[in-house]
Structure 1
Amino acid sequence: MLENRTGNLLKQLMAAEDLITSEQLSRVLHVTSRTIRNDMKELESLLAANGAKIKSVRGQGYKLVIESDQLFRKFLQESFHEGKDDIIPTLKGGRVHYIINRLLLTDKNLKLEDLAEELFISKSTIQNDLKEVKELLLVYDLKVEKTGNSGLRIKGDEVNLRFCMSEYLFNRKLDQTELTYDPAALLVNEELAAIRNIILEEIRDAGITLSDISLNNLVVHIAIACKRIREGNYISAIPKEKNEILKEKEYAVSEKIVRTIEEELNVAFPETEIAYIAIHLLGTKLLTHHELTDGEVLEFIDESIMDLTKKILAETDEKMDLGIKEDRELFTGLSLHLKPAINRFRYKMNLRNPLLDDIKSNYPIPFEAGVVAAGVINKELGYDIHENEIAFLALHFGAAMERKKVSSKKKRCMIVCASGVGSANLLYYKLKSQYSSELEMIGTTELYKVKEINFAEIDLIISTIPIKEEVPVPVIEVNTILGDRDFEKINGALYSKKAKNKADSSIRSELVFLQQPFDKKEEVFAFLEAELLKLGLIDESFMDNVRKREKVSPTCFGNLVAIPHPNTPQTEETFWAFCTLQKPIDWGGKNVQFVCLLSVQKNSTGDFQKMYDVLGDVLDSPAIIQHMLKCKSFPEFKAVFPS
């Protein structure tokens, strides 16, 4: 624990936006400048092992420099909170989340001064953070209103307020419902468990399936409803679609859930609340085509949803050229996913996705396909799609891409053999036993029948005789009795990895900017924009398109890496620009220190996949990133970058 005087000194350093002198500190803390200097030495030794240091500039004063956010936060927690669970955020993204939590959980007015003291920052910093708080709350049509004496309070519709609470107060994992703030602020764990068991019993009886994520989402919604009803806050408006909802099985199930909860938790639910629980069920129930025949699927999916799915697949094919447009399973799975998802979009329900970060990091191409899909949904229906939902869409695209790999894994092979049926059969079965997982043996034929082969149905020919006429597939010439050299030829054709496109993966010295001093994402964008404009690589609209893509979902992928790019190909050539930073900056709530601005040539969507393939090694390796962050010259950087 920090002594009171040392702790107060640290608070002043944290609140200061610039250098602060010992004289200023002595006036605030009512001690002499000499005492300040002595306390500063003591504080400096404490901070050295806890992720921070004090920068001293002769004649100008002191400034706190945080080197490890994680270590420093832990130190603050232990020093000021005596083991309590709440952790003081030091990055802007964390502070914004904290402020929203505080506003949502209080029925009193919050003063700016109190928030500044809680977070150890200045009042002006709080006012700056509030701009982002207001923007995030606007998504739910909620406003932050000022009252007398700088008090703040959230105002808005009760339904929107609850959806916002669902998003910000809970950190839902696949196997549990865990609160990030204060469990007692909503319901005790026994009540949460009771709600969960009641839901499970009723949906089991009704034959409704929920994913684990959706189940947690419904538990959260009902927990919030209980809290708000107990405080006298009710949903008064009846949904416009109530008559439609009443006809659905989910409404009857919601009634049963509510009646049982009323008995066990002693909470009286008005009728209007039942409709909103039914909306949650309609928006989260799990539909799988594996349980339905093709005819039942087509009967179950509305024509409007099928049309929307067709438009999504057409757009992703045009923009990304993934070769999965005709995947029937993708069409069906996406359509079934969209049916309940559209209910969520309509009511601004956000189904938290615990796999979001993993999907963004490990499946960047499917995630980009999800971004394209979200753009189509916005264009057709007018809904803004949250990145949690984009990641769910990405899973469908990722599965289709994996299916494509599996289906194309085996190469379809025709054998051409001139020495008769016996030798042809020997070669056929030898190849079949040796390469059962790599080759699909279509059959054998004679040389003179080569012209009759349907080349649309084969990928290569293995021949015991030279084929002089041109054919549209590779030909591997081998001996009838296969020897080592023959196996080497076949192995070479089957297992050689495609060389990476040198033009795509080449690094240009004029596009590598190392050890830059920027503190904010926008400063990085402004710098890169100026440099790329000077080189004539982009036009004035390029960075606006990068910002538009960033607004949909921040392009931070973990491991200190961000890969910003425009929402559609913009430039006349494919390139990437690298920027490393002297220290991590906040990028959509994550630390980023390595920025790769990626741009794909117009009408060359295949380059996007190739460039991500090269970047894959970087994304996966903290060691490579750390090496590149230390580089101070282009030759060093190029030597470390995966080739």
Structure 2
Amino acid sequence: MRVIKKQAIIMYSLLNANEPISGLVLAKQSGLSLKTVKKEIDTLNDYLNTVGFQIVSRYGVGYECEILDEKKFSHFAESFKSFYHNHHYFENNQRERVHFIIRRLLTNTGNLFISDLADDCCCSPSIINRDMIEAKALLSTFRLQVKNKTNNGLIVVGNEWDIRLALIYEHKIYKRFPSEIDYDEYDFSRFFLSGLGIYKQLKSLVLEKLKQNNLHMSGLVMGKVAYTIILSITRKAYSDNLELPEFTYTHASLLPSYQAAKEIWESLAATDDVTYTEIDILTLAGVISAYQTYLPSDLNFLEYPEDFYKLADEFLDYFDSFYNIKYFDMISFREDLACNFASLFFKTIYHISVDHDIVSNLYSDGLSTLDYCMILYKFIKEKTSLEASIYDIASFYYIFNEFVTAMNKQIKRRVLVTLRSGYYKAKNLCSNLSTIKTPYDIEFIPAEFSDLFRYNPNDFDFLATNIEAKDLDDSLKSKVLPVFYFRKNIDFVRFINQVNKPKYFRTHEMVAIEDIYYPKDIKNGKDLYDYIAAEVLKSCENLEAFFQEVDERNAILSPERKNQLAVLRSFKDILHQTFLKIIICDKPFRFKDEMIQTIIVYNSRDNNVEHLQFMSRFIARLMHSDELIFTFERMTDYEIVRRVLEESE
């Protein structure tokens, strides 16, 4: 029997009352009808007998607790009040019910029917049947099926290894709602030896053996290794159904983690009288290999380290087909990729997927890092045999973040300093800038001698000069930094700030008032694409290919939809233009299973990496800003967009 929220409110009121409480008062406190209160009390009484009391009705007075066993009652009342204050009762919402059903299915050893689950969850069988659809879908991600046998009820069919992976995942969910009053979950808790302190001991043992064998692992996943060991002990009776990948029998004993796994089991056998087999060692070695954090030196101990570097090189070539990255230093990034490919290789072998909620918690300053992850996912699906899910790519998220940071450090802006009547002033400026840590290449040419130098304006990004604009070529005017003219010294801080904010990265200047559109009667994705083709991007060619790329990108990474806003962009530069368009519909409509009203369509010519990175950061600002409330008056909305984008700079 599970105590759900409405029942918990009734019990809490009665346990804290010094006198009987009328049914009307209980109904008001719990938000139920008087008839439902009576029904819930009858349901509770079937269970409360076992904990030493009952709820009885005194005619004309109300309800109160009648104690049958003082000791049991005191223990229950103390525990229940504590759990109630900590909100650890069963909410009975669909998400909790679904996970409860999954846990019952995974641990059931007898006959389990829909009616049993309905009684446990205090709801109708029709609700359980609806919940079963989601429960089956979640179990299918672990390659498990639910079958309904006529005489035996519901059973889970699948490999014991996949059942253990599902149990570990569900245990994490279960720990969020611990409650000792949920007695029916004893079968689930016992598989994890809860309350015996084994878990902490195992984590310490795993950490000790990993250090001794010079292996590295994040503390976040070390607990999963401990639970793998626990389930190998508590579910030994199910070992006959344990089907492990062929790799376990042929290669696991050659892994660097094999010695650590062997020492862990030997320690357990010596101190806790635990029995184990060679398969237990091999399995643990594979799991450690999947969860461990690889360093470049660790790859040398694997049987085929060159394969992971080859995979990294193939991906870099693939990556370069989207973004021109070959002029960046890729040595560190290549090593990080190889290490993560090694980890992904073992995860796919043992069907260990990244938890969905970890991916949902990822946050990016912009969208570029997530785009890089999605390109990696495309590469894995198109060019490799790795059976990775979209969630598994989350493990690469952080190395792409580091790649972006390292890339920013490598970008060198070429700045030309030329001053009229100021050879020594220009030289002094360059000398001073060279002592300041800047990401710029600073060159100087005295204006008096500029005719003696042959230089192309396109060879540098910015011009620092005191020459008047009317005396400059048109090709140079757009590159001038407005920081001159000072009598003696340059304002170095202002100079650096100007260089750090190049004009073509100022996204708010890319949005003109005519780049905001107000379509009417958009009802679906087809209507949206037709409008974009007819009004927004009518001068562009290859729109069909662009929309196909947009759909492919969104199929892998659905655009974040804050403010009922969707982002449309292709992985490749198909349109050969740089633009940012904002479409504001008159009413929300369903697009990719979400309700949206605002659409941002953007592109960067030649997929310039630096440009895309800055651009995506500004777009993320639009997506998350609380100020993005449109008035459907063009000038006002344009000012709103400009203000939000300027704040993001």
* Residue 196 of structure 2 is aligned to residue 186 of structure 1: no
CA contact (8 A) 1:570 1:599 kept: no
CA contact (8 A) 1:511 1:576 kept: no
- Aligned partner of 1:151 in structure 2 is 153
One-letter amino acid of the structure 2 residue matched with residue 499 of structure 1: T
Q: How does 1:547-562 map to 2 (within 5 A)?
A: 552=556, 555-556=559-560
CA contact (8 A) 2:366 2:617 kept: no
Q: Distance in 1 between matches of 2:393 and 2:149?
A: 38
- Name the CA shift for 1:549/1:463 in 2 (closer, same or farther; >3 Å): closer
Tell me, which stretches of 5 or more residues in structure 2 are unaligned? 12-21, 34-79, 179-184, 535-542
- Name the CA shift for 1:80/1:315 in 2 (closer, same or farther; >3 Å): same
- Aligned partner of 1:18 in structure 2 is none
- Aligned partner of 2:527 in structure 1 is 531
- Aligned partner of 2:129 in structure 1 is 127
CA contact (8 A) 2:529 2:547 kept: no
CA contact (8 A) 2:429 2:490 kept: no
Deviation of 1:157 after TM superposition, in Å, equals 0.8
Deviation of 1:373 after TM superposition, in Å, equals 0.7
Deviations 1:74-117 (A, max 9, x none): xxx999979673543535x5554443333223334432233345
Match for residue 502 of structure 1 among 496, 511, 515? 511
Deviations 1:504-560 (A, max 9, x none): 9944222798xxxxxxxxxxxxx5225326637499999998776566466557x68
* Residue 236 of structure 2 is aligned to residue 240 of structure 1: no
CA contact (8 A) 1:162 1:221 kept: yes
CA contact (8 A) 1:374 1:390 kept: yes
One-letter amino acid of the structure 2 residue matched with residue 240 of structure 1: E
CA contact (8 A) 1:432 1:439 kept: no
Cα-Cα RMSD: 5.3
- Name the CA shift for 1:541/1:201 in 2 (closer, same or farther; >3 Å): same
Q: How does 1:409-424 map to 2 (within 5 A)?
A: 411-416=413-418, 419=421, 422-424=424-426
- Name the CA shift for 1:252/1:483 in 2 (closer, same or farther; >3 Å): closer
SS of equivalent residue, structure 1 residue 510? coil
Tell me the TM-score normalised to structure 1 length. 0.68
Q: Distance in 2 between matches of 1:302 and 1:40?
A: 68
SS of equivalent residue, structure 1 residue 350? coil
SS of equivalent residue, structure 1 residue 170? helix
CA contact (8 A) 1:169 1:179 kept: no
- Aligned partner of 1:474 in structure 2 is 479
* Residue 379 of structure 2 is aligned to residue 372 of structure 1: no
CA contact (8 A) 1:570 1:600 kept: no
One-letter amino acid of the structure 2 residue matched with residue 357 of structure 1: S
- Name the CA shift for 1:188/1:595 in 2 (closer, same or farther; >3 Å): farther
SS of equivalent residue, structure 1 residue 535? helix
Q: Distance in 2 between matches of 1:94 and 1:551?
A: 28
Q: Distance in 2 between matches of 1:425 and 1:568?
A: 44
Q: Distance in 2 between matches of 1:6 and 1:364?
A: 45
Deviation of 1:166 after TM superposition, in Å, equals 2.8
Q: How does 1:99-118 map to 2 (within 5 A)?
A: 99-118=101-120
Q: How does 1:404-553 map to 2 (within 5 A)?
A: 404-408=407-411, 411-416=413-418, 419=421, 422-432=424-434, 436-437=437-438, 439-442=440-443, 447-448=449-450, 451-452=453-454, 459-463=461-465, 474-475=479-480, 478=484, 481-482=487-488, 492-495=498-501, 498-500=506-508, 501-502=510-511, 506-510=515-519, 527-532=523-528, 535=531, 537=533, 552=556
One-letter amino acid of the structure 1 residue matched with residue 198 of structure 2: E
SS of equivalent residue, structure 1 residue 144? strand
Deviates more, 1:478-487 or 1:390-399: 478-487
Q: How does 1:333-344 map to 2 (within 5 A)?
A: 333-344=336-347
- Aligned partner of 1:195 in structure 2 is 202
Tell me the TM-score normalised to structure 2 length. 0.67
Q: How does 1:247-286 map to 2 (within 5 A)?
A: 247-286=254-293
Match for residue 204 of structure 1 among 202, 211, 215? 211
Deviates more, 1:141-150 or 1:417-426: 417-426
Deviation of 1:595 after TM superposition, in Å, equals 6.7
Identity level (%): 15
Q: Distance in 2 between matches of 1:634 and 1:78?
A: 58
Q: How does 1:83-98 map to 2 (within 5 A)?
A: 85=88, 87-88=90-91, 90-91=93-94, 95-98=97-100
- Name the CA shift for 1:490/1:193 in 2 (closer, same or farther; >3 Å): closer
Q: Distance in 1 between matches of 2:324 and 2:494?
A: 33
The number of residue pairs the alignment matches comes to 553
- Name the CA shift for 1:217/1:381 in 2 (closer, same or farther; >3 Å): farther
One-letter amino acid of the structure 1 residue matched with residue 207 of structure 2: L
Q: Distance in 1 between matches of 2:82 and 2:597?
A: 34
- Aligned partner of 1:347 in structure 2 is 350
One-letter amino acid of the structure 2 residue matched with residue 213 of structure 1: L
CA contact (8 A) 1:511 1:577 kept: no
- Aligned partner of 1:305 in structure 2 is 308
Q: Distance in 2 between matches of 1:424 and 1:2?
A: 75
Deviations 1:576-635 (A, max 9, x none): 66689999x9x99xxx876755555697756975764344224444x447x67xx89999
SS of equivalent residue, structure 1 residue 110? coil
One-letter amino acid of the structure 2 residue matched with residue 334 of structure 1: L
Q: Distance in 2 between matches of 1:363 and 1:330?
A: 20
Larger Rg: 2
Q: Distance in 2 between matches of 1:535 and 1:187?
A: 60
